Chain A
């Protein structure tokens, strides 16, 4: 029963992804590798669409993956399953919110969690980089190392990164620029 498995996987993601939408990315990548439901290409499409459409990015990613795994109902199941654990936890915490947020142990746990989530998302960048910037397809055909690195892609990546850091505009703007550049320059 695909819907039950999907629900179970997304309940786990909702329970263990701490720190917001982007923190679910490493879990989604591992889910694809483990189950074969979707590949790395779909993951990069997923991030692109989730960043550039209305709605919180974490919710958008859950719906996108769920839809591509099991259709319309799959998207609904994945999304609801992902928010279910936090609804339960938050309702429980709400009653003693002040005590929770001033707890020493919560602060201690986050002393370890913040760097860990940074490391996890950095690892996700590596696998996105492999499919997005490196020319894996051509390299696999020819086996030649120079074919792996595309100067055009690498240059575009650098320009994007520098302008994102420098101008700090909305991601939607950068994605729109990239879409136009991709069509005009035939990426």
Chain B
């Protein structure tokens, strides 16, 4: 059992190591390791895990890892998989952040990071555009998106309340819509 859990940990360590970015970036390596090499799951199951992971709180990559770990070895497997997938991040980011503290005032580093910050801003805006196209489908969606945007920009209200309120608004509107129809 302990050996299997260590194997699980190392497998997800490896997958965390080669994932760049977020969300579906992990899908190709996951398919190769879990579906093709080990046949633990089918393609459809992996896609389902990704879909459900997006509808739950937390980081998608760690959510998918927890589902797969749980599927194989229940709760200990889930914990081993989650710890495995985050360990490379913790090591690599800690090293980089420590280096940054020494070099962040170096002019060349500042020039590079100034331009990277502008690039990052464009990357996130591009992500927002894609999310808008996928997730905002009607006028009610537009109203919610604009209202949340305005509240987040112009007030100090916590994102926690905005997330909770919009989930309730979604349920309330859909139920009201059903009543009428």
Residues of A within 8 A of B171 (CB): 105, 108-109, 111-112
Residues of B within 8 A of A12 (CB): 160
State whether B21 touches A121 (Cβ < 8 A). no
Instruction: Please give the residue numbers on chain A whose beta carbons come within 8 Å of chain B beta carbons, in ascending order.
Output: 12, 14-22, 24-27, 30, 33, 44-45, 47-60, 63-64, 67-68, 72, 75-76, 79-80, 82-83, 85-87, 89-91, 93-94, 97, 100-101, 104-129, 131-133, 153, 156-157, 160-161, 164-165, 170-172, 174-175, 177-183, 185-187
Known: A22-B124, A79-B90, A183-B108. A56 touches B66 (CB 8 A): no
* Measured CA separation A60–B92 after assembly (Å): 9
State whether B89 touches A178 (Cβ < 8 A). no
State whether B75 touches A119 (Cβ < 8 A). no
Interface of B is mostly: helix
State whether A54 touches B111 (Cβ < 8 A). no
Query: Chain B's nearest CB lies how many Å from the CB of A43?
Result: 9
Give 7 new A-B contacts, CB below 8 A, not counting A20-B22, A116-B162: A15-B57, A49-B97, A59-B89, A75-B97, A113-B167, A118-B132, A133-B121
Chain B positions 12 through 40: 1 when the CB is less than 8 Å from some CB of chain A, otherwise 0: 00001111111101100000000000000
Residues of A within 8 A of B82 (CB): 83, 87
Residues of A within 8 A of B145 (CB): 115-116, 118-119, 122
* Complex: chain B residue closest to A76, CB-CB: B90
Query: Chain B's nearest CB lies how many Å from the CB of A149?
Result: 13
* Complex: chain B residue closest to A28, CB-CB: B159
State whether B89 touches A55 (Cβ < 8 A). yes
Known: A133-B121, A164-B122. A170 touches B93 (CB 8 A): no
* Measured CA separation A83–B164 after assembly (Å): 19
* Measured CA separation A94–B65 after assembly (Å): 12
* Complex: chain B residue closest to A40, CB-CB: B117
Residues of A within 8 A of B94 (CB): 63, 67, 72, 75
* Complex: chain A residue closest to B174, CB-CB: A108
* Measured CA separation A1–B92 after assembly (Å): 26
State whether B93 touches A50 (Cβ < 8 A). yes
Q: Which of B52-101 contact A (CB under 8 A)?
A: 52, 54-63, 66-67, 70-71, 75, 78-79, 82, 85-86, 88-90, 92-94, 96-98, 100
State whether A90 touches B121 (Cβ < 8 A). no
Query: Chain A's nearest CB lies how many Å from the CB of B36?
Result: 21
Across the interface, B141 reaches (CB within 8 A) one of A15, A115, A122, namely A115
Query: Chain A's nearest CB lies how many Å from the CB of B79?
Result: 7
Say yes or no for B123: interface residue by CB 8 A criterion.
yes
Say yes or no for B147: interface residue by CB 8 A criterion.
yes
State whether A183 touches B111 (Cβ < 8 A). yes
Say yes or no for B1: interface residue by CB 8 A criterion.
no
State whether B26 touches A179 (Cβ < 8 A). no
State whether A14 touches B119 (Cβ < 8 A). no
Say yes or no for B118: interface residue by CB 8 A criterion.
yes
Known: A108-B174, A116-B144, A171-B21. A101 touches B125 (CB 8 A): no
State whether B113 touches A182 (Cβ < 8 A). yes
* Measured CA separation A141–B22 after assembly (Å): 38
Say yes or no for B112: interface residue by CB 8 A criterion.
yes
Residues of B within 8 A of A82 (CB): 58-59
State whether B163 touches A54 (Cβ < 8 A). no
Known: A49-B100, A108-B170. A56 touches B16 (CB 8 A): yes
* Measured CA separation A30–B122 after assembly (Å): 21
Residues of B within 8 A of A16 (CB): 57, 159-160, 163-164
